[in-house]
């Protein structure tokens, strides 16, 4: 695991294997960002000229190595691009991305010092920790991540910088926990093993964990979870992970879709659409990580995660298109498509979460391909039964660097779902606007008087392309930071 610390040593005097500096695109060419003054001096004022000769432009994602001159303890300098310079200042997301690029580029290095601009120490620290992430569980040989990262800052703000690095460590470790879960092969991560992992984390961090197995789910009437899990030899679980603070004045419920593998069931996915379906539990991973982070940060708010875990497989015992499920709470649902299974497990969990009367329920799910078509691979959609809540989550996402977009819940799209001739609802509605239809379905299971939001992370949850910024290939931990930010705001009374 990568160690992260802060130091007030100068960039010239700190002993490290590599010294990282920032460069940017200025109006007249490449400029060197703040934090690298000692490096500029060591290059006798010609650093920008040397980098330009090597082809550096300061563009976002760029990384250029060059040997360090006399006067620096580190033998190698890495210049990372920050993008366009706006009056010499850089936003948190630019700093996160640059630090992430540096950490990934320097995989295998023992000690790296980050002499980047110090406007946001937490952003630099978090970006570096996320960029150093590597999942090598199944590889005989893989390059180790950077062993030690040191964020350089001035003495004046050293106390605040230390606190920022500590917070970044918590967020980074919990996001990487979520990434590990998403990247784990489905033959190793099933509902039971996921529940065991949650129990272990609960014991480690002092969280209360309750697990409902298939017998308890049957006794309780959780028809959605049982219906989805019927076709698998790995039965479903509903896991409650609760954090309570003695001074809390509000309570939040985070509900996560946890389909540990989604074949589509009897409505089988075609080849080309099922190879990455181990990631269909990314919502459960996100809410789980967010609650652990809330506990480790000591937030003055009660937060409970509900992990709706099942494996959606075809078999002689699987739910068929045309079957009717009696959901937890009593509503009946006609299953028209077994590949619209996420909304079924979430519905059960939302009803159960609502019984505890939280102030807000937020569900997170890789729910629909329609949302990916609408917003692409890097932006999640936010829906809610309260406009102010939707706006708050959208703005919280923006504040922490996650791309999101507020989406409506048009009443006219509800019609197709409620026209089942044999059940209260159908699990499918109109084809167009499918992501919104899924949100409307979930809304049907929210108790009256409870504010609720739905975050569809189908696009950004799993990166099938190459790594960028601090985002790796594979699991990304989408929505974790947004949930933690929202919990912090709630604790602050916002």
Positions marked active-site = 269, 343
E runs forming strands in 185-282: 208-212, 237-243, 251-262
Please name the residues in contact with 166: beta carbons below 8 A apart, sequence gap of 6 or more.
Answer: none
Q: Cα-Cα-Cα-Cα dihedral of 337, 257, 276, 428, to 10°?
A: 20
Structure tokens, 113? 């010092």
Do 334 and 425 form a contact (C-beta atoms < 8 A)?
yes
Q: CA 2: distance to chain centroid?
A: 19
Please name the residues in contact with 274: beta carbons below 8 A apart, sequence gap of 6 or more.
Answer: 262, 263, 264
Alpha carbon distance 103, 20 (integer Å): 9
Do 194 and 178 form a contact (C-beta atoms < 8 A)?
no
Do 335 and 251 form a contact (C-beta atoms < 8 A)?
no
Sign of the dihedral through C-alpha 14, 20, 24, 28: positive
Alpha carbon distance 451, 358 (integer Å): 9
Alpha carbon distance 293, 39 (integer Å): 37
Do 277 and 461 form a contact (C-beta atoms < 8 A)?
no
Give, as one character, the DSSP assignment of residue 422: S
Alpha carbon distance 412, 187 (integer Å): 41
């Amino acid at each position: 695991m990568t160690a992260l610390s802060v130091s007030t040593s100068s960039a010239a005097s700190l002993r490290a294997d590599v010294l990282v500096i920032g460069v940017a695109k200025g109006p007249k060419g490449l400029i060197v960002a703040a934090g690298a003054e000692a490096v500029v001096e060591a290059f006798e004022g010609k650093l920008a000229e040397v980098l330009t000769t090597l082809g550096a432009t300061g563009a976002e994602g760029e990384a250029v190595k060059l040997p360090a001159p006399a006067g620096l303890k580190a033998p190698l300098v890495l210049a990372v691009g920050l993008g366009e310079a706006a009056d010499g200042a850089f936003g948190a997301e630019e700093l996160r991305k640059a630090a992430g690029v540096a950490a990934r580029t320097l995989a295998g290095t023992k000690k790296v010092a980050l002499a980047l601009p110090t406007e946001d120490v937490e952003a630099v620290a978090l970006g570096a920790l996320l960029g150093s992430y590597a999942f090598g569980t199944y590889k005989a040989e893989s390059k180790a991540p950077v062993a030690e990262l040191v964020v350089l800052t001035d003495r004046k703000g050293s106390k605040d910088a230390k606190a920022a690095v500590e917070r970044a460590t918590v967020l980074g470790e919990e996001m990487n926990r979520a990434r590990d879960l998403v990247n784990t092969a489905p033959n190793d991560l099933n509902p039971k093993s996921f529940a065991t992992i949650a129990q272990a984390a609960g014991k480690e961090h002092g969280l209360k964990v309750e697990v409902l197995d298939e017998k308890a789910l049957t006794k309780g009437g959780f028809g959605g979870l049982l219906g989805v899990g019927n076709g698998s030899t790995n039965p479903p679980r509903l896991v409650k992970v609760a954090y309570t603070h003695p001074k809390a004045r509000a309570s939040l419920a985070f509900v996560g879709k946890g389909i540990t593998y989604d074949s589509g069931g009897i409505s089988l996915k075609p080849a080309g659409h099922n190879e990455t379906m181990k990631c269909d539990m990314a919502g459960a991973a996100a809410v789980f990580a967010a609650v652990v982070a809330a506990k480790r940060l000591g937030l003055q708010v009660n937060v409970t995660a509900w992990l709706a875990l099942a494996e959606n497989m075809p078999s002689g015992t699987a739910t068929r298109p045309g079957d009717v499920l009696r959901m937890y709470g009593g509503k009946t649902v006609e299953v028209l498509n077994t590949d619209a299974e996420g909304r079924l497990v979430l519905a059960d969990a939302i009803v159960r979460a609502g019984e505890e009367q939280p102030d807000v329920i937020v569900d997170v799910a890789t729910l629909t391909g329609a949302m990916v078509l609408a917003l692409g691979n890097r932006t999640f959609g936010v829906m809610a039964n309260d406009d102010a809540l939707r706006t708050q989550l959208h703005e919280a996402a923006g504040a922490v660097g996650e791309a999101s977009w507020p989406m409506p819940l048009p009443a006219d799209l509800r019609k197709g779902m409620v026209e089942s001739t044999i059940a209260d609802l159908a699990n499918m509605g109109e084809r167009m606007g499918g992501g919104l239809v899924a949100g409307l379905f979930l809304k049907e299971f929210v108790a009256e008087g409870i504010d609720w939001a739905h975050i569809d992370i189908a696009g950004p949850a799993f990166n099938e392309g190459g790594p960028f910024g601090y985002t790796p290939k594979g699991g990304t931990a989408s929505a974790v930071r947004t949930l933690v930010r929202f919990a912090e705001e709630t604790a602050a009374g916002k």
